[in-house]
Structure 1
Amino acid sequence: MLHQLKKIFPSLIVNDDKIKLPQQMYKWYITDNGIKIGISKNELTNRDTALLETFMTPYHAQIPVPSDKELQWKEVIDQTSSMTHQTASSPFRFVYFSMNEQQIEPITFKESIQALFNYKIPILWENEQEGILIEEQSSITGENIPYEQIIDVIMSDLYVNIHFFVGPYLNQYQEAKSQYLTMFRYAPIALTYSDKPVTNYQEAIPYILLEQVGSPFRNELANTILQEFTADTELLQNIQMFLKCNLNVSVTAKELYMHRNSLQYRLDKFIEKTGIDIRQFHQAVTVYLALLANMHKD
């Protein structure tokens, strides 16, 4: 294949060739067998680029060359692998990550992540700021570090601001493609609503549902449920903590460094004015959705 491409694009080089132009003057690709090639951008039209990307993976110079394992997973996700219709030998899940632009080189990030796992976890890069970790249960020989702790370690060692969105475990390789696309579709939504560095897919369901209904409904929900309190930031924060603490007034008061009676007074005020008893689970759920909607009103 490389010989034929060389006839069409004379500037083509492989990773071992001596580069005749500055590296940024080349468009880089990874072939199916892991060979990195470059073609001068001056030789490529938009049509050429689109065609090459159908059978090779675009490669950005700062992104690590994928390992054999990572190439295998890419084939599974692209549904071009013979494993596509097989049951996975053990459950696996995708963990989306995102970082601020130009905070850290992807190669350094990968080395740091690998050092925190007890096996070489595959990483598929979407670009230099985001990608997917692939966690396989069969590779877990001991207790892995929680993602919250991973963030703490990376923050303290590398000063990198990173977020994780943890997906569900899957058993069928056939589910990989749709789940991979779902992660990139919903992770940014979840991270917009959540102020936590690590968000699980279970927590993200309310965020995703609210995003589906559109801004008019979100605005109506917030105004109808919260009524005169939509702009009372302090009270809404108290209620949000109350919901977070499983409707336990004593625990909430401790978290807020408030006297229990003071908190109870504020909660009673909300209940009296709105007619919604947030001490009852089903009504609390409605208030929770309204709080989220109020945070993202247009």
Structure 2
Amino acid sequence: MEVMLSWFGKERTVADSSCNESKSHKTILHLLIKMINKSRWKILGVLAIFLVMVWYTKSREESFDFPVPKMICPLGEVEKKAAQLITNYTRKHPLFLQLKDYFWVRTPSPYELPYGTKGSEENLLRVLAITSYALPESLQSLKCRRCAVVGNGHRLRNSSMGEAINKYDVVIRLNNAPVYGYESDVGSKTTMRLFYPESAHFNPQRENNPDTLLVLVPFKPMDFQWMETILHDKKRVRKGFWKQPPLIWNANPEQVRILNPYFMEITAAKLLKLPMKQLKKLKQGSEHNISHEALAIKKMLELGVIKNLTYF
């Protein structure tokens, strides 16, 4: 599996390209820490990488025909490597939240957001009533899910990697990473975009494909309320955000998904090694730990679970 770490603006981003193995991990880590310090909500990047790992563990890789080293990934190889990072992990949890799990069913969660839904079920139920949870059949039927995670950092500027990125089966973008006008560098294909209200692009139709899955990564109860007011065209929520999210967000509800907080929990507990007891102390804008994130990325690079393909 290739994962490219790139930077196109102020936020750190993650995408697919070839790892320069001649450079030491120390140099890579220094670069990552330097770039990570410039961003906010970096946990999304590690989360996106983890989601790629989840998808990839039962896939078989075929040869690439663009400027990426040809390699074969036997069935289960990534799963074995990931097991060294994530212990006691189960794939039984659905990737996206489903209405049936909240409608007339008590599903107590041990955590509040961002790692659970405790206390937010009422707003969440109204959001799930108008959105969906399924993965497109075109993705489900893939024998091999070759994934690229792309963000909005300057590393891809003038890289001419757009064509290579488009050849991946799954292209995941973060937050409001731009596409329009930068297609030659970042590609034009977007399978899935992870975001939270403050990072939602004001024009989702311009920056995404018609079939792009718009995946809300909820960090706080207000995130569900924002989504509800947008999709149901109610009076907009203006308070409770560190930055004003879009008041008009023209997106197809059928393409909207709500990420299961379970994967946030696993990312935080298993990959970032964050103590769960600290959850109640977390404040808006502080759900990341720079040193933990850098170490997690370094470990994944060392194990060969991911590759930094923009280290050039």
TM-score range, shorter chain: under 0.3
Q: Which has the higher contact order (CA 8 A, sep 6+)?
A: 2
Higher helix share: 1
Higher strand share: 1
Greater C-alpha radius of gyration: 1
Relative to the length of structure 1, the TM-score reads 0.20
